[in-house]
């Protein structure tokens, strides 16, 4: 075999990378309806582009932020002031953060709490500082018998009939905890 007929080593290596990082997750997604959670996030994203959905989601999870200042009770944080960009349709960076990293990572939430407290000082210097933040989790069932919401996607309002489900509570400057 001459050098012209033999594949170059970097072509073989690149082919293996494409096979492992893209073709395998797409194939796995075709059989399992999604790439395995064991793959790194970037690889799962590559595999998700195949858009092979076998099952519709049964519910819509969402998160909200509530803050407590030096004085007063818990109030909902206006997320639009802190996360004004909506690079993911009508979902903010906070929604993407919670979907991707924040749903089970208290350290990431602690970092976000520190940022929110600092950003609040910039936006509202005359108000008392934020002393605590809590992440409120909601879950809205998707039902075929209900009409779809009109307009663009919005988080469902918190149901006043149900108790607030606090997912985690964070005191500014202290590690967070789950209730």
Q: Is the pLDDT of residue 169 over 60?
A: yes
- For the chain, the farthest-separated pair of C-alpha atoms sits apart, in whole angstroms, at 81
Q: Are 123 and 61 in contact (CB under 8 A)?
A: no
Q: pLDDT at position 46, please?
A: 65
| Of the candidate ranges 23-27, 48-52, 115-119, 125-129, the one whose mean pLDDT is the lowest | 48-52
Q: In the chain, how many H helices and how many E strands?
A: 6, 4
pLDDT at residue 122, as a whole number = 94
pLDDT for residue 144:
78
CA distance 107 to 124: 25
Q: What is the mean pLDDT of residues 159-177?
A: 71
What local confidence, expressed as pLDDT, does residue 161 receive? 62
Number of C-alpha atoms within 13 angstroms, CB side, residue 86?
9
| Burial grade of 113 (CB within 10 A; 0-12, 13-18, 19 or more) | buried
Query: What's the CA dihedral at 42, 112, 99, 162 to 10 degrees?
Result: 170
Q: What per-residue confidence (pLDDT) applies to 128?
A: 92
pLDDT attached to residue 26 = 74
- State yes or no: pLDDT of 17 exceeds 70: yes
Q: Model confidence at 96, in pLDDT bands (50, 70, 90)?
A: confident
Range from 38-42, 54-58, 96-100, 125-129 carrying the lowest mean pLDDT? 54-58
**Inter-residue contact 42 to 23 (CB < 8 Å):** no
H helices of the chain, in order, are 9-18, 24-32, 41-48, 79-82, 93-97, 106-123
Where in the chain are the domains?
Answer: 9-48, 59-171
Q: What does the pLDDT average to over 67-95? A: 81
- Distance between CA 110 and CA 95 in Å, rounded? 16
| pLDDT interval class at 47 (50, 70, 90) | low
């Amino acid at each position: 075999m001459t050098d012209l007929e033999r594949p170059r080593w970097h072509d073989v290596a690149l082919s293996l990378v494409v096979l492992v990082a893209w073709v395998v997750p797409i194939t796995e997604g075709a059989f399992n309806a999604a790439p395995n959670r064991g793959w790194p996030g970037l690889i799962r994203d590559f595999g998700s582009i195949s858009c092979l959905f076998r099952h519709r989601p049964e519910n819509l999870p969402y998160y909200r932020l509530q803050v407590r200042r030096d004085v007063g009770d818990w109030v909902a944080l206006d997320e639009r002031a802190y996360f004004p960009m909506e690079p993911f349709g009508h979902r903010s960076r906070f929604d993407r953060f919670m979907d991707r990293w924040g749903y089970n990572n208290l350290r990431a939430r602690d970092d976000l709490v520190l940022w929110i407290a600092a950003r609040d000082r910039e936006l509202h210097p005359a108000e008392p500082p934020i002393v605590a933040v809590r992440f409120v989790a909601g879950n809205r069932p998707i039902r075929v018998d209900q009409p779809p919401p009109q307009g663009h996607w919005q988080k469902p309002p918190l149901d006043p009939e149900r108790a607030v489900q606090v997912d985690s509570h964070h005191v500014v400057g202290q590690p967070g905890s789950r209730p």
